[in-house]
Amino acid sequence: MAENSGVDGGLKVRMREVKMDDVQKTAFKMRYMHFQFVVMPFGLINALAVFRDLMNQVCRSMLDRLVIVFIDDILIYSKTKENHMVHLTEVLETLRREQLYAKFSKCDFWLQEVQFIGHLVNREGIKVDPAKVEAVMKWEVPKTPTKIRSFLGFSGYYQRFNQDFSKIAVPLTRLTHKNVKFMWGDEQQVAFELLRGKLCKAPVLTLLEGIEDMTVYCDASYHGLRVNATWEVTHEANYPTHDLELAAVVFALKLWRHYFYGVKCSIYADHKSLWYFLDQQNLNMRQRRWLDVVKDSDCKILYHSGKANVVADALSRKAHITMMWVPWMRLTVMTSLLELIKSSQVEPVKVENQKNERVKGQLSQLVTDSRGLLTRSGRVWVPMSCEVRQTLLDEAHKSKFSIHPGATKM
């Protein structure tokens, strides 16, 4: 059974002594005399950073081994009571040696559950402090952008417990933007209530156990990289298939690096060429960078057919745009672009607008075709000073019927 102790409160910033050569620089005048600070004065903007650096130096040999330090909070953790006695003695003796004193009334020892920076930590995992949940439930509806930022900052601290936090908070975040009129409507109220409600039902975050031999299934498509986690991609959509599948492997290694460290793992991908990646001689610069990531882990890449890799393959192909099926009929898509172009050609050819369009020397070359459109050398002429050009680009790059990977590069 795990044992925890917390040392809190008594460790103050003013315990940091001022260097003797600099004491005179802190002098301030009273009515009849001058005073000098021999410890760190109040009100310095970098006081917390300096004190945190001091605590990290003092506890350096114990960090991530038996203690966690956050400014003046020290959390001591152990797996057994015997180990905890040794660890607790080591920490307290270190504080005494460095002349850092803790206030006994604010310290807690031999706890099965400890409160630490807004969380409750026990053998089951990490959960939200009920006191913080109560504070969120009592939060009044924000009526200004500043109050919205305050609410999102507080609830966002626990976004690891709140799935899709960023997506739910979009209506609220939108009201904090510049040049956006503050209008609180039903959409914002629903998002506000949903964020509060999900925090009340926040799950317990647990650590992965039994990872001596870990197996990961990953897959990639032009919609995303999937290793039982979601990551929307942008530039990765332009990768060749080999690099795209390799990007999914590297993504898994980076995402779960803390689990892979020091253990053997097998990574299954449905692209057989990855099997020989570690033995390849000619690699481009991107692949060389990824090779360093792969070699940091004791892993081997194995082939797993796409038919068998059901979960990762299905997740990688999930996207906002789905295929449209029309059974037993022919679908003809007609656009209104030609009519839009035709109407946009009327004003530019007028005498008063020819200078702005810079078409004065081209009018003689424009010919009206059978559709009533002005053309030049058989190609439709699109005026410059209209929005039709942007509409054409959007139709070619962003339409559901003509999308290609360059859509985001316009």
Task: Using DSSP, state whether 329 is helix, strand or coil.
Answer: coil
- Is residue 111 located within the same domain as residue 71? yes
In a domain, 323, yes or no: no
Q: How many domains does the chain have?
A: 4
pTM of the shown model: 0.47
Mark which of 117, 151, 186 sits at the end of a domain.
117
Report DSSP letters for 72-84, one per residue.
Answer: TEEEEEESSHHHH
Are residues 354 and 376 both part of a single domain? yes
The CATH number for 293's domain is 3.30.420.10
Q: 16-53 burial, b if ≥16 CB within 10 A, otherwise e?
A: eebeeeeeeeeeeeeeeeeeebeebeeeeeeeeeebee
Flag the least confident range among 164-178, 183-197, 203-217, 359-373: 203-217
Could you list the residue range(s) of the whole structural domain that residue 257 is in? Answer: 213-316
* Same domain assignment for residues 223 and 177: no
Asked if residue 331 is part of any domain, the answer here is no
Lowest mean pLDDT among 138-147, 322-331, 396-405: 322-331
> How would residue 255 be classed by pLDDT, with cut points 50, 70 and 90?
confident
* Rg from Cα positions in the chain: 32
Q: Of 256, 249, 255, give the one whose Cα is nearest residue 301.
A: 249
Q: Is residue 208 part of a domain?
A: no
**What b-and-e string marks burial along 106-131, b requiring 16 or more CB atoms within 10 Å of the CB?**
eeeeeeeebbbeebbbeeeebbbeee
Check whether residue 22 and residue 106 sit in a common domain.
Answer: yes
Pairwise CA distance, residues 20 & 371, whole Å = 91
Bridge partners, 63 (sequence order): 67
For β-strands 125-128 and 367-368, DSSP reports them as: unpaired
In this prediction, residue 390 carries a pLDDT of 80
Q: Are residues 91 and 153 in the same domain?
A: no
**pLDDT for the residue 315:** 46
Q: What is the mean pLDDT of residues 33-59?
A: 84
Domain boundary among 179, 200, 221: 200
What's the whole-number average pLDDT of the chain?
75
Domain CATH for 173: 3.30.70.270
Same domain assignment for residues 98 and 38: yes
pLDDT greater than 60 at residue 328: no
Looking at the structure, tell me whether residues 342 and 384 fall in a common domain: yes
Do 66 and 110 have their domain in common?
yes
pLDDT at 302: 80
List the 230-232 sheet strands across, edge first. Answer: 219-221, 224-226, 230-232
Residues 273, 254 within the same domain: yes
| One domain for residues 291 and 350 | no
Answer whether residue 15 is part of any domain. yes
Q: What is the mean pLDDT of residues 306-311?
A: 50
pLDDT score at 326: 42
pLDDT tens-digit series, residues 83-137: 889 998 998 898 888 888 887 888 888 888 888 778 888 877 888 888 888 888 8
* Residue 147 counted as domain residue: yes
- If you search the block for the tokens 């953790």, which residue do you land on? 77
Mean pLDDT is highest, among 210-214, 218-222, 266-270, 325-329, for: 266-270
Question: Would 325 be classed as within a structural domain?
Answer: no
